[in-house]
Chain A
Amino acid sequence: MLAINTIGKSFGGLIALNNVSFRVDGGSISALIGPNGAGKTTLLNIISGIFPPDIGKISFSGTTISDLPATKIARAGISRTFQQVELFGDMTVLENVMVGRYSRTRSGFISSGLRLPFVRKEERETRDRSLGILDYIGLRSRKDELASNLPLGEQRILEIGRALATEPGLLLLDEPAAGLNIRETRSLGEMIVRLRNEKKITILLVEHDMDLVMRISDRIAVLNFGEVIADGTPLEVQKNQAVISAYLGTEE
């Protein structure tokens, strides 16, 4: 589904990613792990088109996306959440999800200004679908709350809800469990599995919580100083000597 080919990226003199290649199979939950500063977020930024790679190519369902702007990539069916929560803070919970519907709807300034019949219909659909998503993620009762007023755990869930509204085929999650307690992390894990099983969304998960990663991932790629040092099933990765010394040994 997603093929990452020999991606390289540097910031000034710093090489953030070097010759990174791996694949994410359709319908899988794949994890990308590695110590802080390994380049995980940078890779997600490149996949989602926030900035282009220096070299290399990424293709999604057979088409090259690494030369597309973020908007087109989102429309192609890749959505994401952010390590540092990036909600629209002064909008309500419901409105945040409704913004996610943007790329799947089409009313413009003039048709909205004139409240044309198709606009009203579309607006109703947007609201209904967004409420449906809030039901699914369990935040319906919070719908009129400002997003910035939610506790961190709910903010992370809301980011997932907003991403779901774009109807993604592939969902990129950047450390969704960071700052969550054990109970919240557990229900987050259940939700991720449900997204894959019920909504058939492929997941690429960046996460430090090894319990969560080992429990729900089908495959794991390990990044260290911008390079892939291992790629395999959770069992294979856990046994991998390079991983143990480079990552599991030094971190946590």
Chain B
Amino acid sequence: MNRDNSLAVLVLIAVIIFVPLVSGSAYVITIGVFSGINALIAIGLCILMGYAGQVSLGQAGFYGIGAYVSATLTHHYGLPVPLCVAAAMIVSAFAAVILAVPSLRLKGHYLAVATLSFGEIINIALNEWGPGGPSGFGDIPTFNILDFIFDTTTSYFYLVWGCVVLVLLFSFNFINSRTGRALRALHGSELASRAMGLDVTALKIKVFVISAAYASLAGSLYAHYVTFISPSSFTLFYSILVLMMVVIGGITNLWGGVVGAILITILPELLRSFEEFDVLVYGLILTLSLMFLRRGLVPLLIEKIKQLRGPLIARD
């Protein structure tokens, strides 16, 4: 991990600690919880798109598996929550392999359609066979580790954002190592990658698995927070929303996922004052940012900071 990213993680940790201290409002912290959940899934999609050059419109499928598997296991069988969250990640990982093996032969639009279909199949399956069918089920236990129950919004905020920090550290670690270099190489030239002995297919499958595991973790954290889930939370609409987050934040940088997730989560809340026009304004803002922020917010900011830093260094 390079110095700038370490510094950024420290800043993030400081912000995480201070937000609940400064803001007494449960409303703000709740939005913070959802931002964190969305950040987890967005980081996974960032890695998939920005570093491996693959697209997915099926992240809601893994998000749904994460939510349903750990909710069902804890609710019906009374197993410890962390164990069930891990089990859900493993189930999602298997689902990712099954999806990846046939669809990674596909490129661009075809891959998008294949992953989209996967998400829809999961959604149909949840409607048909999920506990409670289309109306879902409740009484899902709150997240707890042994005796400690995360039953306040603030404690859940720390839990979720703690996970975001760990996932970021884990991700930065493997991106700045053999496997991460291989992913970027793959993105740069598949021909040269093959000639250098990179196992291209295996790498692509593994990235898919990682993005699925992150989405699954996000889904589990969601289920154990709201304690009631139904298939309507795990639709194509959500997959597209996650795509929006990473595109607006910037796919070439993991921080893009985090920033995009926060913005997209907060935006509808800020637009409340527009009342019945909020959907319209929301759509307008998304469209404009997609048009004018081609590379995403974070890469743009980094460029601006470098430009500002440049003359400073030159002056010294």
Interface on A for B, CB 8 Å cutoff? Answer: 48-50, 69-71, 74-75, 79-80, 82, 86-91, 95, 98-103, 105, 107-110, 112-115, 119, 122-123, 126, 162-163, 166
Chain B positions within 8 Å of A89 at CB level: 188-189
State whether A126 touches B184 (Cβ < 8 A).
no
Chain A positions within 8 Å of B110 at CB level: none
Rounded to whole angstroms, the CA-CA distance of A101 and B171 in the bound complex is 21
Chain A positions within 8 Å of B237 at CB level: none
One of B56-64, B82-90, B197-205, B227-235 at the interface: B197-205
Q: How many residues of B contact A (CB 8 A)?
A: 26
Contacts A112-B173, A114-B170 given; indicate if A48 touches B195 (C-beta within 8 A). Answer: yes
12 residue pairs of the A-B complex, CB under 8 angstroms, read: A69-B194, A71-B199, A74-B195, A86-B195, A88-B184, A88-B189, A89-B189, A90-B184, A91-B188, A109-B174, A123-B177, A166-B197
Partner of A112, one of B174, B184, B188, B196: B174
Contacts A71-B198, A112-B174 given; indicate if A87 touches B182 (C-beta within 8 A). Answer: no
State whether B182 touches A99 (Cβ < 8 A).
yes
State whether B182 touches A71 (Cβ < 8 A).
no
State whether B178 touches A112 (Cβ < 8 A).
yes
Rounded to whole angstroms, the CA-CA distance of A81 and B264 in the bound complex is 45
Rounded to whole angstroms, the CA-CA distance of A22 and B13 in the bound complex is 64
Give, as a whole number of angstroms, the nearest-CB distance from A68 to chain B.
Answer: 11
Chain A positions within 8 Å of B189 at CB level: 86-89
Residue B192 is within 8 A (CB to CB) of chain A in the complex: yes
Give, as a whole number of angstroms, the nearest-CB distance from A203 to chain B.
Answer: 16
State whether B196 touches A79 (Cβ < 8 A).
yes
Chain A positions within 8 Å of B193 at CB level: 99
Residue B75 is within 8 A (CB to CB) of chain A in the complex: no
Nearest CB in chain A to that of B177: its residue: A112
Chain B positions within 8 Å of A163 at CB level: 196
State whether A109 touches B197 (Cβ < 8 A).
no
Chain A positions within 8 Å of B194 at CB level: 49-50, 69-71, 74
Give, as a whole number of angstroms, the nearest-CB distance from A174 to chain B.
Answer: 11
* Closest 3 pairs (CB-CB, A-B): A103-B197, A74-B197, A88-B188
Chain B positions within 8 Å of A115 at CB level: 173
State whether A90 touches B188 (Cβ < 8 A).
yes
Rounded to whole angstroms, the CA-CA distance of A203 and B21 in the bound complex is 67
Partner of A109, one of B191, B196, B206: B206
State whether A80 touches B195 (Cβ < 8 A).
yes
Residue B210 is within 8 A (CB to CB) of chain A in the complex: yes
Chain A positions within 8 Å of B197 at CB level: 70-71, 74-75, 102-103, 166
Residue B179 is within 8 A (CB to CB) of chain A in the complex: yes
State whether B196 touches A82 (Cβ < 8 A).
no
